[in-house]
């Protein structure tokens, strides 16, 4: 956790550095600096580079997948509308979670620091979600060169979590106009086997629910941050848990209707003709729907999808809550042991 | 925590999608690194080398976007790998190494991250089957004036660097305490920190040393710099650790794999 | 109140739609201009042409690309939006993906069709206006489409009329004030099939209310289509007559 009380409200350069878009490209030293005047050159460089491609799906593979779908079968043996098993594991720190859906794996880490609030929103803390994909997830993702998936993903998370006001930003205020908490969610995409959007959303929500802010006391100008060992840190004020459910439209069933598949693998994603992401919380509030292009679908089918998403989210919500509770119990048990052994024990 | 405090926790191929990957956890500082290696891949024309494979190292920070620190780390790893990988075996290709800092005690401390990054990278290169001249191992040593305070250290983690071998007990004031794989707290009390990397044959691959600002104990600053003969003894000890223990760790980690 | 909205419309009334084809005489292959209330959008289409870069070359189909430009004076506040603005990129992706599935791209392999949209004035329903303008410009450019793509917005009205316990009617074609006040969605349909090609909603809404909103949106799309079709026919007739002379 990076906790850095600012010495002076105006010295904000550390944070500013993080926001500089060019800093994300430092790892790619050969990339020319984008000069707005020479648009032609930038475009040329942008597209002339070849990047390693994902292997294309062969015709035989395609036929096999689509024919199987006609009989309501999927290659990995799942039902059409079933998720892969969602595995959640937590790290030593608060706000660190590792989510696995089959071979898809995403890490989320929440960090907090104290900053000066924006002048137009003096009562609110800030929350940013960083989704930078690297070649670790798949060689076709390059550092500093966001793909379409990158844009879609960051926008969807932004709409699902930030715009639906899942996080009460006003609760992050410490001193109005002076100091607020600035939260940051860093998502690391480790392995890509389809459905990065849902996995990333589950990871972010779980990490937010797992995160604890250290207790602070304000006396006049001074802000004291109490270490975790001194005072029990407090959870964030999460108003609801929006969860994304992505439907992939591919193939046709026996009646010629388009098949909606849940939690598609990379193979199914490569074959799909359209997709729709619905974000719902367990109370049945739809926070966001996004279907851009792809195959045209009857309104009735879309409504069926939305209702199904609401059902699925109830299950996922319960799963996250259980995992969080189990982790809490394990942690508390550790704390008791620690008390028994005495405070000289401090291995970490 | 049943595992030995000097042997890292290693899990091989945690990422099934990449050609080779490794997760490495330093037993004392709990720094966890995940690396993946892909290669030989198609290379961007401007990076293409006619007689060699291009090595690309990307270090991704746990928090925030990559900055100067990550560039420095990746250039250190890059130079080490350049002397290990037989790049002329795959000319006009790309060997891509991505290292993700999963968990760290201190996300800003370069010396705490370097050793786990190097060791993890070397293991994942082995898994990916990238031809290498030899293997290397890295160890992080911190030099202290006093035995570490308030931190419990494990058996064998702390040793003394005496002058003149056997009669080290007599020259007590010149004794220096060396801690292997220090955690952040020990590093805060250290005078200097040395990351030494040796190949299996005992060649120096990388030595990254730095003076540490002493902890808040109000110590006088007479520990500026370090004595070259002390440093050579330290390097000698580092070489022993890398060539004997390090190579043994690699061998054990790979023993379960049928390829070897 | 008598169930009237702040601009005097009833719940199922569209704003005035004015559309025009062949508005630009410059190098664009097709162009259009549409006004939906005070939302004004200009669209140019170029193509099928040689792709601007090698990466855009697809062996078996045309590449559809989209550029969206917000005029700095288009909103209530003067905001310059660059190429990397998130809102710009989202609109671009939405339009590009929508039309990739509607244009018969397989007829023009190894070529590129560029849709550039200029938003001159924003008063709610920007995405819908952009989609409608792009459809008209593509028709003007003579690019074969599966059918019209028509988009419309619908909003979940607040419960001020909800005295008898009955669910209030959703509002059709929301303006800027309504859009910032109530949850709304944009729906785009293909031709008169009532099949949805794009659906976009960014606000929180109860799932029970969603169906009515989509239904109203679809009915709006049909009305928009009728207006657009009338203009296309009028324009086509005018052009033919001009050729005959």
Q: Taking CA B173 as the corner, what is the angle to CA B168 and CA B179, rounded to the nearest 5 degrees?
A: 70
Residue B237 lies in a domain: yes
Contacts of A138 in chain B (CB under 8 A): 17
* Residue B201 pLDDT > 50: yes
The SS3 assignment for A51 reads coil
> What does the pLDDT profile of chain C (245 residues) look like in tens digits?
467 888 888 888 899 999 999 988 777 899 999 999 999 999 999 989 999 888 888 888 999 999 999 999 998 889 888 888 888 988 999 999 999 999 999 999 999 999 999 999 999 999 999 999 999 999 999 999 999 999 999 998 765 554 455 567 888 999 998 888 889 999 999 988 889 999 999 888 888 889 999 999 999 999 999 999 999 999 999 999 998 87
Using CA atoms, how far residue B99 sits from A190, B74, B102, B135, B245, in Å, is 10, 9, 9, 18, 24
Q: Does A120 touch chain B if contact means CB atoms closer than 8 Å?
A: no
Cα separation, C217 vs B195, in Å, equals 65
Contact A147, A201 (CB under 8 A): no
How crowded is the C-beta side of C233, counted as CA atoms within 13 Å? 6
Of A276, A287, A296, the CB nearest to C204: A287
Instruction: With respect to residue C229, please indicate whether it lies within any of the assigned structural domains.
Output: yes
Asked if chain B contacts chain A via 3 or more Cβ pairs within 8 Å, the reply is yes
Test A26 with B67 for CB contact under 8 angstroms: yes
B66 touches chain A (CB under 8 A): yes
Position of tokens 């989320």? Answer: A108
Task: Supply the pLDDT for residue A5.
Answer: 45
* Token duo for residue A301: 């089918």
Whether C101 and chain A come into contact, CB under 8 Å, resolves to yes
C196 inside 8 A of chain A by CB: yes
Contacts of A253 (CB under 8 A, 6+ apart): A69, A70, A72, A259
Task: Tell me if chain B has a CB within 8 Å of the CB of A16.
Answer: no
Respond yes or no on whether ipTM tops 0.85: yes
Q: Please tell me which of the candidates C84, C90, C100 has its beta carbon nearest to residue A293.
A: C100
- Rounded to whole angstroms, how far apart are CA atoms B29 and B181? 7
B57 backbone dihedrals φ, ψ, rounded to 5°: -120, 125
Give the total number of structural domains in chain C: 1
Q: What is the pLDDT of residue B168?
A: 43
Q: What is the tally of structural domains in chain B?
A: 1
Q: What share of chain A is helix, strand, coil (3-state, %, to 5)?
A: 35, 25, 40
Q: Do the beta carbons of residue B61 and residue B73 sit within 8 Å?
A: no
Peptide bond into C48 cis (omega under 30): yes
What pLDDT shows up at residue B255?
Answer: 84
**CA of C21: how far to CAs of A304, C38, C127, in Å?**
38, 18, 19
Domain boundaries, position B134: 9-253
Whether C244 maps to a domain, the answer reads: no
Range 77-96 of A in CB contact (< 8 A) with B: 91-93, 96
Using alpha carbons, select from B198, B189, B199, B200 the residue that is nearest to residue B234: B198
Q: What is the pLDDT of residue B57?
A: 95
Q: Do B45 and A348 touch (CB under 8 A)?
A: no
Chains C and B physically touch (3 or more Cβ atom pairs below 8 Å): no
- A128 to chain B: closest CA residue: B64
Chain B CB contacts of A52 below 8 Å: 38, 41-42, 94
Chain A residues lying within 8 Å of C222, measured CB to CB: none
Is residue A103 less than 8 Å (CB to CB) from chain B?
A: yes
Report the pLDDT value the prediction gives residue A132, as an integer from 0 to 100. Answer: 83
The shortest C-alpha distance from A344 to chain B (Å) reads 7
* Inter-CA distances, C31 with A216, A292, C71, Å: 59, 23, 18
The nearest alpha carbon in chain A to B60 belongs to A134
Tokens representing A41? 């050159």
User: Residue A312 belongs to what H/E stretch?
Assistant: helix A299-341
CA distance A54 to B3: 39
CB pairs under 8 A between A and C: 113
Rounded Cα–Cα distance for residues B239 and C34 (Å): 75
Q: Is B88 part of a structural domain of the chain?
A: yes
The whole-angstrom separation of Cα C120 and Cα A221 is 48
Sign of CA dihedral A196, A202, A206, A208: positive
CB contact under 8 A, C94 and A292: yes
Least CB–CB distance from C53: residue in A48, A299, A306: A48
Convert the pLDDT of each residue in A189-241 to its tens digit. Answer: 999 999 999 999 999 999 999 999 999 888 877 888 888 888 889 999 999 99
What pLDDT, on a 0 to 100 scale, did the predictor assign at position B162? Answer: 60
Can you read off the two tokens belonging to residue C129? Answer: 């206006």
User: B104-108, B243-247, C222-226: which range is least confident on average?
Assistant: B104-108
| pLDDT at residue A336, as a whole number | 60
Chain A partners within 8 Å of C54 (Cβ) = 47-48
According to the model, what pLDDT value does residue A265 have? 92
What's the half-sphere exposure (Cβ side, CA atoms, 13 Å) at C68?
26
Q: What is the pLDDT of residues B108-151, one digit of tens each?
A: 888 899 999 999 999 999 999 999 999 999 999 988 887 777 77
A256 phi-psi bin (left φ>0, alpha ψ -120 to 50, beta other):
left
The dihedral formed by the CA atoms of B234, B236, B240 and B243, expressed in degrees to the nearest 10: 120
Within a 13 Å sphere around the CA of A107, how many CA atoms are in the beta-carbon half? 26
Cis (ω within 30 of 0) for the bond into B40?
Answer: yes
Contact A289 C218 (CB under 8 A): no
Q: Are B242 and B180 in contact (CB under 8 A)?
A: no
Chain A, nearest residue to B182 by Cα: A348
Phi and psi at residue B148, to the nearest 5°: -55, 135
Chain A hits for B71, CB-CB cut-off 8 Å, are 26-27, 29
DSSP-assigned states of every residue in A137-148: T-TT-BTTB--H
Query: In the structure, do chain C and chain A come into contact, i.e. share 3 or more CB pairs under 8 Å?
Result: yes
Strands A179-191 and A126-131: parallel
List the domain boundaries for chain A. Answer: 2-37+75-347
> Please, is A122 exposed, middle or buried when counting C-beta atoms within 10 Å of its C-beta (0-12, 13-18, 19+)?
middle
- Chain C residues whose beta carbon lies within 8 Å of the beta carbon of residue A56: none
Q: How far apart, in whole angstroms, are the C-alpha atoms of residue C2 and residue C5?
A: 9
Higher pLDDT, C98 or B215: C98
Q: Is A143 on the interface with B (CB under 8 A)?
A: yes
Token pair belonging to A90: 């937590």
DSSP A41: H
Burial class (CB in 10 A: 0-12, 13-18, 19+), C76: exposed
Kind plus residue range of the DSSP H or E element containing B240: helix B228-240
H/E run at residue A260: strand A258-262
**C189 contact A CB<8A:** yes
Number of H helices, E strands in chain C: 4, 10
Radius of gyration over every alpha carbon of chain B, rounded to an integer in angstroms: 19
Residue A118: CB partners within 8 Å, gap ≥ 6? A124, A126
Name B248's Cβ contacts closer than 8 Å, sequence gap at least 6. none
pLDDT truncated to tens, each residue of chain A (348 aa)? 444 444 444 333 443 333 333 333 333 334 344 443 333 333 333 333 445 566 778 899 999 999 998 888 899 999 999 999 999 999 888 999 999 999 999 999 999 999 999 888 898 999 999 988 888 888 888 777 777 788 889 889 988 988 888 999 999 999 888 889 999 999 999 999 999 999 999 999 999 999 999 998 888 778 888 888 888 899 999 999 999 999 999 877 777 788 899 999 999 998 998 999 999 999 989 999 999 888 899 999 999 999 999 999 999 999 999 999 999 998 888 666 555 554 444 443
Any A CB within 8 A of C215 CB: yes
Asked if residue B259 belongs to a domain, the reply is: no
Provide the shortest C-alpha distance from residue B191 to chain A (in Å): 21
C199 vs A294, A303, C152, C158, CA distance in Å?
A: 11, 11, 10, 21
* Residue B155 at interface with chain A, using a CB cutoff of 8 Å: no
Quick one: B233 exposed, middle or buried, by C-beta within 10 A (0-12, 13-18, 19+)? middle
Measured CA to CA, the distance from residue C91 to residue C67 in angstroms comes to 9
A81 min Cα distance to partner chain C (Å): 19
Supply the mean pLDDT for chain B.
84
In this prediction the pTM is 0.86
- DSSP per-residue codes, B82-101: HTTB-GGGSTT-EEEEEEEE
- The pLDDT assigned to B130 comes to 93
Q: What is the DSSP code (8-state) at residue A159?
A: I
Name the band, by pLDDT with cuts 50, 70 and 90, for residue B170.
Answer: very low
Q: Residue B175 — φ and ψ, nearest 5°? A: -70, 145
The SS3 assignment for B137 reads strand
Which residues does chain C have within 8 Å of residue A290's beta carbon, measured at their own beta carbons?
199-201
Q: Does A267 lie at the interface with B, CB-CB under 8 angstroms?
A: no
CB B36 within 8 A of CB B20: yes
Chain B contact set for A139 (CB, 8 A):
38, 41, 96
- Look at residue B212 and tell me whether its pLDDT is greater than 70: yes
Alpha helices in chain C (DSSP H): 86-100, 126-140, 176-181, 207-244
Interval B210-228 mean pLDDT: 60
C-beta of residue B201 within 8 angstroms of C-beta of residue B244:
no
Q: Rounded to whole angstroms, how far apart are CA atoms C64 and C95?
A: 9
* CATH code at A2-37+75-347: 3.30.230.70
Q: Do A299 and C101 touch (CB under 8 A)?
A: no
Residue B260 in domain: no
* Min Cα separation B167/chain A (Å): 33
Q: Is A104 on the interface with C (CB under 8 A)?
A: no
Q: Which residues of A touch B34 (CB under 8 A)?
A: 136, 190
Indicate the DSSP class of residue C164: G
Nearest CA in chain C to A288: C202
Q: How far is C160 from chain A (nearest CA, A)?
A: 20
d(CA A167, CA A157): 13
Q: Specify the CATH number for the domain of residue B113.
A: 3.30.230.70
**Which 8-state DSSP code applies to residue B132?**
B
Residue B212 lies in a domain: yes
Task: Flag whether residue B70 sits within 8 Å of chain A, measured between CB atoms.
Answer: yes
- Smallest CA-to-CA distance from C98 within C221, C243, C2 is with C221
- Count chain A–chain B contacts defined by CB atoms under 8 A: 111
Could you tell me which chain A residue has the CA closest to the CA of B35? Answer: A136
């Amino acid at each position: 956790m990076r906790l850095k009380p600012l010495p002076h409200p105006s010295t904000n350069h550390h944070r500013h550095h993080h926001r500089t878009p060019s800093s994300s490209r430092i790892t790619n030293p050969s990339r020319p600096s984008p000069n707005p005047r020479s648009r032609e050159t930038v475009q040329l460089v942008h597209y002339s580079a070849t990047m390693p491609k994902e292997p294309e799906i062969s015709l035989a593979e395609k036929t096999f997948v689509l024919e199987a779908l006609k009989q309501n079968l999927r290659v990995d043996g799942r039902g059409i509308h079933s998720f892969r098993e969602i595995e959640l594991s937590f790290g030593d720190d608060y706000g660190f979670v590792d989510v696995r859906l089959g071979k898809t794996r995403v890490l989320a880490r929440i960090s907090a620091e104290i900053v000066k609030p924006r002048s137009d929103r003096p009562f609110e803390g800030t929350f940013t979600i960083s989704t930078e994909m690297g070649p670790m997830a798949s060689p076709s993702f390059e550092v500093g060169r966001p793909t379409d998936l990158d844009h879609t993903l960051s926008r969807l998370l932004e709409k699902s979590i930030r715009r639906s006001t899942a996080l009460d930003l006003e609760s992050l205020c410490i001193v109005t106009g002076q100091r607020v908490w600035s939260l940051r969610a860093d998502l690391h995409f480790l392995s890509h086997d389809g459905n990065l959007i849902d996995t990333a959303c589950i990871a972010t929500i779980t990490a937010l629910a797992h995160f604890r802010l250290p207790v602070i006391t304000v006396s006049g100008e001074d802000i004291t941050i109490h270490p975790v060992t001194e005072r029990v840190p407090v959870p964030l004020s999460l108003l609801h848990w929006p969860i994304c459910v992505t439907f992939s439209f591919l193939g046709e069933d026996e009646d010629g209707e388009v098949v909606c598949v849940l939690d598609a693998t990379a193979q199914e994603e490569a074959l799909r003709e359209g997709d729709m992401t619905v974000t719902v919380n367990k109370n049945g509030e739809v926070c966001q729907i996004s279907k851009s292009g792809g195959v045209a679908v009857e309104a009735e089918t879309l409504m069926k999808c939305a209702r199904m998403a609401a059902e699925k989210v109830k299950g996922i919500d319960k799963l996250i809550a259980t995992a969080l509770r189990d982790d809490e119990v394990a942690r508390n048990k550790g704390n008791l042991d620690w008390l028994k052994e005495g405070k000289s024990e401090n291995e970490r | 925590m049943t595992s030995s405090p000097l042997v890292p926790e290693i899990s091989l191929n945690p990422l099934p999608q990449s050609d080779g990957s490794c997760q490495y956890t330093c037993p004392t500082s709990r720094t966890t690194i995940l690396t993946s290696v892909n290669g030989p891949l198609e290379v961007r024309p401007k990076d293409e080398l006619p007689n060699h494979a291009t090595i690309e190292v990307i270090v991704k920070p746990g928090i925030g976007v990559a900055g100067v620190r990550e560039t420095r780390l990746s250039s250190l790893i890059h130079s080490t790998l350049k002397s290990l990988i037989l790049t002329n075996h795959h000319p006009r290709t790309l060997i891509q190494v991505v290292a993700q800092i999963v968990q760290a005690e201190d996300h800003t401390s370069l010396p705490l991250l370097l050793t786990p990054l190097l060791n993890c990278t070397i293991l994942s290169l082995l898994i990916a089957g990238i031809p290498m001249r030899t293997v290397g191992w890295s160890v992080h040593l911190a030099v202290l004036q006093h035995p570490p305070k308030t931190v419990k250290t494990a058996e064998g983690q702390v040793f003394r660097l005496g002058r003149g071998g056997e009669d080290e007990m007599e020259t007590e004031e010149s004794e220096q305490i060396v801690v292997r794989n220090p955690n952040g707290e020990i590093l805060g009390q250290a005078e200097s920190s040395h990351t030494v990397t040796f190949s299996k044959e005992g060649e120096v691959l990388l030595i990254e040393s730095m003076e540490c600002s002493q902890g808040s104990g109000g110590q006088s600053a007479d520990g500026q710099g370090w004595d070259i003969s002390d440093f050579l003894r330290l390097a000698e000890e580092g070489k022993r650790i890398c060539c004997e223990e390090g190579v043994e760790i690699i061998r054990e980690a790979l023993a379960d794999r049928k390829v070897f | 109140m008598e169930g009237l909205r702040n601009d005097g419309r009833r719940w199922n009334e569209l704003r005035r739609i004015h559309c025009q084809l062949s508005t630009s005489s410059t190098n664009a292959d097709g162009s259009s201009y549409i006004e939906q209330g005070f939302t004004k959008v200009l669209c140019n289409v170029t193509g099928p042409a040689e792709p601007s870069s090698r990466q855009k070359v697809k062996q078996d189909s045309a590449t559809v690309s989209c550029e969206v430009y917000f005029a700095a004076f288009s909103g209530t506040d003067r905001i310059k939006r660059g190429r990397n603005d998130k809102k710009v990129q989202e609109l671009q992706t939405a339009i590009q993906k929508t039309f990739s599935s509607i244009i018969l791209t397989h007829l023009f392999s190894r070529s590129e069709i560029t849709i550039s949209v200029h938003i001159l004035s924003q008063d709610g329903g920007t995405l819908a206006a952009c989609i409608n303008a792009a459809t008209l410009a593509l028709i003007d450019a003579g690019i074969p489409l599966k059918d019209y793509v028509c988009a419309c917005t619908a909003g979940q009205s607040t419960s001020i009329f909800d005295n008898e316990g009955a669910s209030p009617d959703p509002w059709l074609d929301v303006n800027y004030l309504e859009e910032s006040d109530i949850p709304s969605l944009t729906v785009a349909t293909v031709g008169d099939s009532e099949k949805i090609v794009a659906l976009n909603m960014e606000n929180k809404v109860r799932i029970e209310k969603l169906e009515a909103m989509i239904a109203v949106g679809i009915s709006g799309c049909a009305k928009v289509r009728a207006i657009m079709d009338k203009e296309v026919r009028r324009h086509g007739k005018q052009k033919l007559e001009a050729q005959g002379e």
